[in-house]
């Protein structure tokens, strides 16, 4: 997504568009990983050097409240993700990378439906994490 599309999306959500918000949203939409607030700040400063960390937190809050992004608290840090579709987060315990696995077979969705009908819980969203070795690190075997 380019700036124009993001700007339109923000307006549609009723968010006042400022240079700072555009920069933060752009960073998050284009991030393939799940950056922390600090990382969002560093990346946003590439295009907007004077942006403050306070504004990053403020903007992230606005984007979460309007449903543009979600926050994922991990043990090591809180990270932010613009991918709101059902998916699983794959965390490699060796190299630390976090990647998204799309819910291809609809397994996450069906797990959700199963639970809802069986337990009587009405789920509106979910979070699924798997911890282990990514393909690269698994192939690398015991070396490190």
Partner DNA sequence: CTCTTTGCAAATCTTTTGCAACTTG
Partner DNA sequence: CAAGTTGCAAAAGATTTGCAAAGAG
Residues lying near DNA in the complex (CB under 7 A) are found at: 11, 15-21, 36-38, 48, 50-55, 57-59, 61-62, 77-78
Asked if 15 and 67 touch (Cβ cutoff 8 Å), the reply is no
The reply to whether 112 sits near its own copies by the rule CB under 8 A is yes
Work out what residue 1 binds among DNA, its own copies, none; the CB cut-off runs from 5 to 8 Å by kind.
none
Q: Of the two residues 19 and 127, which places its CB atom closer to DNA in the complex?
A: 19
Work out what residue 88 binds among its own copies, DNA, none; the CB cut-off runs from 5 to 8 Å by kind.
its own copies
Asked if 115 and 107 touch (Cβ cutoff 8 Å), the reply is no
The distance of closest approach from Cβ of residue 2 to its own copies in the complex, given in angstroms and rounded to an integer, is: 29
Residues of span 57-76 touching its own copies by CB under 8 A: 71, 73-75
Nearest to 13 by CA among 47, 56, 86, 64: 64
Q: Of the two residues 19 and 136, which places its CB atom closer to its own copies in the complex?
A: 136
Within 10 A of 43 (CB to CB), how many other CB atoms are there?
19
Backbone angles phi, psi at 17, to 5 degrees: -90, 120
The reply to whether 127 sits near its own copies by the rule CB under 8 A is yes
Greatest extent of the chain over all pairs of C-alpha atoms, in Å: 52
Work out what residue 117 binds among DNA, its own copies, none; the CB cut-off runs from 5 to 8 Å by kind.
none
The reply to whether 121 sits near its own copies by the rule CB under 8 A is yes
The reply to whether 135 sits near its own copies by the rule CB under 8 A is yes
Distance in angstroms (rounded) separating the CA atoms of residues 111 and 102: 14
Tokens read off for 61 = 């809050």
Tokens read off for 72 = 């994922």
């Amino acid at each position: 997504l380019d700036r124009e599309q993001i700007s339109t999306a923000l307006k549609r959500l009723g968010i006042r568009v400022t240079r700072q918000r555009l920069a933060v949203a752009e960073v998050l939409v284009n991030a393939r990983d799940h950056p922390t607030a600090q990382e969002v700040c560093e990346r946003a400063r590439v295009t907007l050097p004077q942006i403050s960390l306070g504004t990053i937190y403020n903007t992230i809050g606005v984007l979460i409240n309007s449903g543009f992004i979600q926050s994922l608290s991990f043990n090591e840090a809180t990270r932010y993700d613009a991918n709101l579709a059902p998916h699983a987060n794959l965390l490699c315990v060796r190299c630390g990378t976090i990647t998204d696995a799309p819910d291809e077979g609809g397994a996450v969705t069906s797990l959700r439906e199963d639970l809802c009908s069986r337990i009587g819980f009405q789920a509106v969203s979910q979070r699924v994490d798997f911890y282990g070795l990514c393909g690269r690190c698994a192939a690398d075997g015991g070396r490190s």
